[in-house]
Amino acid sequence: MRKKRVFLMMFLMFTLIVSGCGGGMVTEPLEKVEVDQSQAAQSIQGKEFDLLLQASQAFLAEEEKTITAEEVYEKVVLEGDINYLVVDVRPAKSFADAHIEGSVNIPYALTAKPNMIANLPKDKTIVVACSSGHTAGQTAAFWSLLGYDAVPMLNGMGGWNKTAGSALKQFDYPVVTAEKPPIAAVNTFPTITAEGANDLQSLIIERAQSYLASGKGPIVKANDLKDKVLDGNDTGYFLVDIRQETDYSKGHIDGAINIPFQALADVESLKKIPTDKKVVLIGYTGIDASQVTRVLNQLGYDAYALFQGMRVWTTDEEVNGIAPASAEVITDLPVKVLQYNLDGGGGGTASCG
């Protein structure tokens, strides 16, 4: 097969942006350079993990971001702030039944499709909404890795209106204060390949497509974790508490090691995580853990988030580090209903009621 060749106009400004350096404007473009796509793909072969690791470190080094339903309502619905776009990643039927005014729908399974990504604005804050906040957290992390300003909405549509999302159920499961003995940083890193990728962006997208196509569930529920790990002694799980050390020391799930959110992609931290176990990430709300879950899965780990985090594992606020889950659920913000026949048949246009 003949090698496909493309001609790319390369600008110095583009080079500066990609390399992360600052610089002044350049008015004279560089000459056209012939680039062999197959050679470009070969140039990242064997470097996939390192490239993704660097991108993951940059993302996790930032302050963990979420936005509340109240903030979205005020900025998007009441003020009509054009600097925000709400993207609802729930299934089309759920979106049609109840959604935030002005939001658009990209179902979770389609969030790594290049044509969907191409329509995302780079000059706006993308608020990602789902049912509970978990797939929104994963999607926001993925789009952030691609350079978008994406932030998940806390509690999802369940925090917007009780009829539109998932309710939170709390437990009072046991916690311990004793730290797990130090884990040796001796594990090897996963081996990943992405044959169709020729740069970091296409590598991130290909890894996301592979993850979504696997059909893996994004979460582990608190009762399942207790039954399987604490009561059932299932050794196939590895627990990582990503909260700050001060909160971890006040109480954590027995057997969980502590690697705070921002340190999780550090080389020494990753060497503590096995590649042959299901890694359960335990955060404050679960949305924080979901963002790390996507990062680890793209790096080749088998990772899941504890559904709704420590706030549903125990009602003890001293251990939670946050307010009880029930206090964060909003039940009366308005939703729009899409008047459209999603099953097909007949004509007609979509309208909101």
Name the band, by pLDDT with cuts 50, 70 and 90, for residue 195.
confident
Q: Name which of 63, 41, 55 is nearest 261 in CA terms.
A: 63
Distance between CA atoms of 252 and 282, rounded to whole angstroms? 9
Name the band, by pLDDT with cuts 50, 70 and 90, for residue 22.
very low
Find the range with the poorest average confidence among 139-148, 201-210, 297-306, 342-351: 342-351
In terms of C-beta distances under 8 Å and separation of at least 24 residues, what long-range contacts does 301-305 make, across chains too?
Answer: 301/190, 301/273, 301/275, 302/216, 302/275, 302/277, 302/278, 303/278, 303/279, 304/216, 304/217, 304/218, 304/219, 304/220, 304/278, 304/279, 304/280, 305/134, 305/137, 305/218, 305/219, 305/220, 305/280, 305/281
pTM of the model: 0.83
Distance between CA atoms of 101 and 90, rounded to whole angstroms? 15
- How many C-beta neighbours within 10 Å does residue 73 have? 17
pLDDT mean over 6-11: 32
Using an 8 Å Cβ cutoff, are 254 and 335 in contact? Answer: no
**Which domains does the chain show, CATH number per domain?**
5-23+30-61 (no CATH), 215-328 (3.40.250.10)
For residue 324, pLDDT over 70 is answered with: no
Distance between CA atoms of 188 and 207, rounded to whole angstroms? 19
**Can you give the pLDDT at residue 42?**
59
**Can you give the pLDDT at residue 31?**
39
Distance between CA atoms of 335 and 353, rounded to whole angstroms? 9
pLDDT in tens, 265-316: 999 999 999 999 999 999 999 999 999 999 999 999 999 999 999 999 998 9
Name the band, by pLDDT with cuts 50, 70 and 90, for residue 180.
confident
Q: How far is CA 159 from the centre of its chain?
A: 18
Using an 8 Å Cβ cutoff, are 260 and 245 in contact? Answer: yes
Q: Tokens standing for 17?
A: 């942006």
Name the band, by pLDDT with cuts 50, 70 and 90, for residue 148.
very high
For residue 325, pLDDT over 70 is answered with: no
In which element (H, E) is residue 33 found? strand 33-36
**Can you give the pLDDT at residue 339?**
62
Find the range with the poorest average confidence among 3-7, 228-232, 322-326: 3-7
Beta bridge partners of 84: 125
Distance between CA atoms of 170 and 165, rounded to whole angstroms? 16
Q: What percent of the chain has pLDDT above 70? A: 80
Name the band, by pLDDT with cuts 50, 70 and 90, for residue 194.
confident
Find the range with the poorest average confidence among 22-36, 117-131, 199-213: 22-36
Find the range with the poorest average confidence among 128-142, 158-172, 186-200, 332-346: 332-346
pLDDT mean over 110-136: 97
Calculate the average pLDDT of the chain: 84
**Can you give the pLDDT at residue 124?**
98
More confident residue, 198 or 332: 198
**Can you give the pLDDT at residue 338?**
78
